[in-house]
Amino acid sequence: MGTTSSTAGAGSSSSASSYFTGSSAFSSSLQNAINQAVAIASLPITQLTNQQTSITNQNDEVTTLNSKFSTLQSDVQAINEALTSSFNADISDPSSVSATVGQGATIGTYTIQVDDPGSYSTMMTSTWNGASGAAQTYQLYIGTQEYDVTPTDNSATSVAAAINSQYGNLVHATVVNVGSSDSPDQRIALQSTSLASDQLDLKDANGDDLAAQQIAGEAAQYEVDNSGNVVSSDSPYVNIASGITVRLLAASGGPVTIDVTQDTSALGSALSTFATDYNAAVDEVDNNRGQSGGALQGQEIVNQLQQALANIATYGGGSGISFQDLGLTLGQDGHFTFDSNQFASIASTNLSGLDSFLGSPTGSGFLQAATGVLKTIEDPTTGLIPTTQSNLQTELTDLQSQISDKETQVNNLQTQLTTEMSSADASISTMEQQYSYLNEMFQAMQIDAQEISG
């Protein structure tokens, strides 16, 4: 009789129910009093749980938006990669030079004549016999410049490691074994990092020359586009025009032709993908607007993301062309459509204008502008979406803590009330028993009195 259970409310981590079993006629009323008190005390838990659900939904939606904008950021990078990798270089004598063509290059024909590819200065020591005892200070010479070398010990390995650690930008040291595995003959070999005639040398702490073989290098000599101007270089990699780097391999004996062309098919595909993913981002942002908007309805982040997308779509560079010239048309619904035929047209007639409009992520043009906008959205530290996610996670953690505290309070209240009501019920039950005994006694006395009087 009067046995029921009650919970602390939606979202409780554990049931706040406690069983009250009474024996008095009022046990049911006492249990109802417990239930009512617990239900009132549980109202804040219900409110907090509703807030928790709302913020969880917001966090899920921000995660979805993050996916859309992260994809858009990758698309911008893909456009740049397609732009920089779309160049091809056809070389008439690949044994003399190789070429790398990238951002800023212009299609056309270039020539270079390699008179001398240059060489690095080298040196090799005699058989290395590292002195015992404390590590010495050695002297490295590059031309007339002297440098102190401080190894951890006097072994060839330690001395070479010290040279690389301290002066690796000037010279590279290796340990070579000119003997056999059974009878090793270790030596230190040095090679300069630039093409120059500076002779290399190595001396020990006593000033003894350790070099057994020394060969001086020389600078590279080349001529670009039959200019008659011979250029010297301390590097085998030379820039002959914007975006065109040539590696000098061997003397050419005459001009080498480099034909630079550009294949824009990958770029067109990248722009088409960008349009599709941009539209997906627009749709996801729009899902959170209006009376039937999603979890972020009314949140400032929706307006900020919409403005970011507008800034990307309305970019206008100073190159004299626009998105529409590239085949990207922005409709009234805020969506891009991509016309591959229009793109092919500008790629064949105004490739330099297309390159100028797109630019590069760190230079200029659309790619720089879009990269900047998307960084404000996606930067792991300061970006709008990561900071919003962090704030929402903090709110969820705080709400869960509040809910747990409230559940504990409700559980304690129910336990206290159950104890008190059990005690009250026991007292009432005792009085009921006493009343029953007295009532039965009076009834017996009345019956006896009637029998005597009768």
Distance CA 399, CA 442 (A): 63
CA dist., res. 454 & res. 450, Å (int): 6
Q: What is the reported pLDDT for 418?
A: 84
CA distance 210 to 204: 7
Reported confidence tier of residue 395, pLDDT bands at 50, 70, 90: very high
Which residue would you say has higher pLDDT here, 3 or 163? Answer: 163
Concatenated DSSP letters for 274-325? HHHHHHHHHHHHHTTSSTT--TTTT-HHHHHHHHHHHHHHT---SSS--TGG
First to last CA, the chain: 43
- Alpha-carbon distance of 9 to 162, in angstroms, equals 70
Placement of tokens 């019920």 in the chain: 425
C-alpha to C-alpha distance for 31 and 22, rounded to whole angstroms: 9
Across the chain, what does the average pLDDT equal?
89
Say what the alpha-carbon torsion angle 149, 150, 156, 158 is, to the nearest 10 degrees: -130
Residue range 140-162: mean pLDDT, rounded: 96
CA pair distance 364, 360, nearest whole angstrom: 6
| Rounded percentage of the chain residues whose pLDDT exceeds 70 | 95
Q: Is the pLDDT of residue 256 over 70?
A: yes
Query: 453 pLDDT exceeds 80?
Result: no
- pLDDT at residue 6 is higher than 50: no
List CB contacts of 264: < 8 A, sequence separation 6 or more: 86, 343, 344, 347, 351, 354
d(Cα 116, Cα 413) in Å, to the nearest integer?
Answer: 93
pLDDT digits (tens, 9 = 90+) for 109-143: 999 999 999 999 999 999 998 878 899 999 999 99
Task: Report the half-sphere exposure of 44 (CA within 13 A, side-chain side).
Answer: 13
State the pLDDT confidence band at 440, using cuts at 50, 70 and 90: confident
Residue 149's pLDDT band (cuts 50, 70, 90): very high
Residue (of 369, 399, 356, 385) closest to 83 by Cα position: 356
* pLDDT tens digits, 299-330: 999 999 999 999 999 998 766 889 999 999 99
Which range is least confidently modeled, 39-43, 152-156, 229-233, 268-272? 39-43
CB 124 within 8 A of CB 213: yes
pLDDT of residue 155 exceeding 70, the answer is yes
Residue 285: closest CA among 307, 305, 262: 305
User: What's the pLDDT at 12?
Assistant: 43
Residues 6+ apart with CB under 8 A from 122: 189, 190, 191, 192, 200, 213, 214, 215, 217
| Structure confidence at residue 4 as a pLDDT band (50, 70, 90) | very low
If you average pLDDT over residues 240-250, what whole number do you get?
Answer: 94
343 band by pLDDT with thresholds 50, 70 and 90: very high
pLDDT at 3 over 50: no
Give the mean pLDDT of 10-36: 67
pLDDT reported for residue 118: 97
In terms of pLDDT, which residue wins out, 223 or 131? 223
pLDDT given for residue 20 in this prediction: 64
